[in-house]
């Protein structure tokens, strides 16, 4: 064994080998340390998922206890042939995609603005990130009633103030309204992470570009945006985790309607399970939702996997 200094110079890998040799018992210790988290998450995921898969092959309705029987893929057939499925799938993807795009773009603009030097900047930051702390149920009720109400809402007043016909937001543009409302909740999150990233921008690089005569727009496109890419990936990842399962906002405002226009997969499964008591059908929907999430996850993991190094 060489000296630690020698190993440190030989690079990180050797340095680790040095440590491992030094304390072999640590390996056992580290297994013990990581164990509980991994075991708990495994149980948390595997047990209910196994039950869901099992239920999805049963004709199982809470209103008919004791009548459960094996039905093969019947629940899946019903779920896929239900026109609600296609609509819910579209709505889910539309919500995730649009909210991510809007919140990242608007969050980036907010972050760039809040990164400038101006009077009262600290206070504006506190104001601007506030929507992030608001619980979804509150924000949904607030938007539905005080802002979007077609007669007495604030937007209705704004529209009539400029002589426009007030819009009945949640009836005429239900999906758009939900997207708008949830985008508002996520702008601060995107802005926060992008702002942190902006602040870590290398000043010397900016100065060099300035001396080379780059204008503000070119500098933004060729220096700032590439620097921010890592953070954008993180924002997209975290947001999609939360947005794939939007529930409370729909539950409180539209109840999935009018018709099925704001029903996403999460809400569809919920209404099957807890409103129609069709456990088998809901379980099939749940399995489909898990598969969908996994497809999205694979794409995201490809992106984020590089970020872990």
> Residue from 9, 17, 30, 97 that binds other proteins (CB under 8 A)?
30
> Residue from 76, 85, 102, 184 that binds other proteins (CB under 8 A)?
184
In the range 70-99, which residues lie near other proteins by CB under 8 A?
none
> Residue from 63, 69, 81, 133 that binds other proteins (CB under 8 A)?
133
In whole angstroms, what is the distance from residue 220 CA to residue 232 CA?
15
Is residue 227 exposed (0-12), middle (13-18) or buried (19+ Cβ within 10 Å)? middle
DSSP for residue 142: H
In the range 237-276, which residues lie near other proteins by CB under 8 A?
237-238, 240-241, 244-245, 247-248, 251-252, 265-266, 269-270, 273-274
User: DSSP alpha helices (H): ranges in 23-120?
Assistant: 25-55, 74-81, 83-114
Nearest to 171 by CA among 191, 186, 187, 151: 151
> Residue from 131, 150, 176, 257 that binds other proteins (CB under 8 A)?
131
Ramachandran area for residue 225 (φ above 0: left; ψ -120 to 50: alpha; else beta): alpha
Contact between 177 and other proteins (CB under 8 A)?
Answer: no
Are residues 183 and 102 in contact, defined by beta-carbon separation less than 8 angstroms? yes
Residues 6+ apart with CB under 8 A from 209: 218, 219, 222, 223
In whole angstroms, what is the distance from residue 70 CA to residue 58 CA?
5
Contact between 136 and other proteins (CB under 8 A)?
Answer: yes
Contact between 226 and other proteins (CB under 8 A)?
Answer: no
In whole angstroms, what is the distance from residue 256 CA to residue 258 CA?
7
Contact between 219 and other proteins (CB under 8 A)?
Answer: no
> Residue from 6, 121, 210, 218 that binds other proteins (CB under 8 A)?
121
The least CB distance from residue 225 to other proteins, in Å, is 14
Are residues 194 and 232 in contact, defined by beta-carbon separation less than 8 angstroms? yes
The least CB distance from residue 66 to other proteins, in Å, is 15
Comparing CB distances to other proteins, the nearer of 211 and 298 is 298
The least CB distance from residue 204 to other proteins, in Å, is 16
**Tokens representing 208?**
């060099």
The least CB distance from residue 81 to other proteins, in Å, is 20
Contact between 205 and other proteins (CB under 8 A)?
Answer: no
The least CB distance from residue 227 to other proteins, in Å, is 9
Q: Which residue has the tokens 């209705």?
A: 156
Total residues at interface with other proteins (CB under 8 A): 117
> Residue from 152, 172, 215, 303 that binds other proteins (CB under 8 A)?
152
CA dihedral 216, 218, 224, 230 (to 10 degrees): 160
Mark the segment that binds other proteins (CB under 8 A) among 75-83, 117-125, 169-177, 214-222: 117-125
The least CB distance from residue 212 to other proteins, in Å, is 21
The least CB distance from residue 274 to other proteins, in Å, is 7
């Amino acid at each position: 064994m060489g000296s630690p200094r020698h190993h440190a110079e030989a690079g990180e890998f050797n340095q680790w080998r040095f440590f491992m040799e030094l304390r072999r018992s640590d390996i056992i210790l580290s297994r013990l340390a990581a164990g509980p988290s991994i075991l708990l998450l495994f149980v948390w995921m595997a047990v209910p998922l196994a039950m869901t898969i099992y239920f999805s092959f049963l004709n199982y309705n809470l209103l008919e206890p004791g009548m459960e029987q094996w039905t093969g893929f019947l629940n899946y057939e019903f779920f896929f042939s239900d026109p609600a499925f296609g609509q819910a799938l579209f709505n889910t993807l539309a919500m995730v995609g649009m909210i991510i795009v809007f919140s990242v773009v608007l969050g980036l603009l907010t972050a760039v603005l809040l990164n400038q030097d101006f009077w009262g900047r600290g206070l504006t930051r506190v104001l601007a990130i506030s929507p992030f702390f608001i619980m979804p149920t509150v924000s949904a009720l607030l938007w539905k009633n005080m802002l979007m109400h077609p007669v007495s809402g604030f937007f209705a007043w704004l529209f009539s103030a400029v002589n426009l016909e007030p819009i009945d937001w949640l009836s005429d543009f239900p999906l758009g309204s939900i997207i708008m409302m949830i985008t508002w909740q996520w702008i601060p999150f995107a802005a926060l992470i992008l702002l942190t990233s902006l602040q870590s921008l290398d000043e010397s690089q900016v100065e060099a570009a300035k001396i080379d005569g780059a204008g503000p727009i070119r500098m933004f496109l060729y220096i700032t945006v590439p620097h921010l890419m890592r953070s954008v990936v993180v924002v997209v990842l975290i947001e999609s985790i939360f947005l794939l399962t939007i529930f409370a906002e729909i539950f409180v405002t539209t109840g999935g309607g009018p018709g099925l226009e704001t029903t996403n997969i999460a809400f569809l499964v919920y209404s099957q399970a807890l409103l129609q008591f069709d456990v088998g059908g809901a379980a099939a929907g749940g399995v489909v939702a898990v598969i969908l999430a996994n497809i999205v996850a694979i794409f995201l993991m490809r992106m984020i996997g590089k970020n872990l190094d």
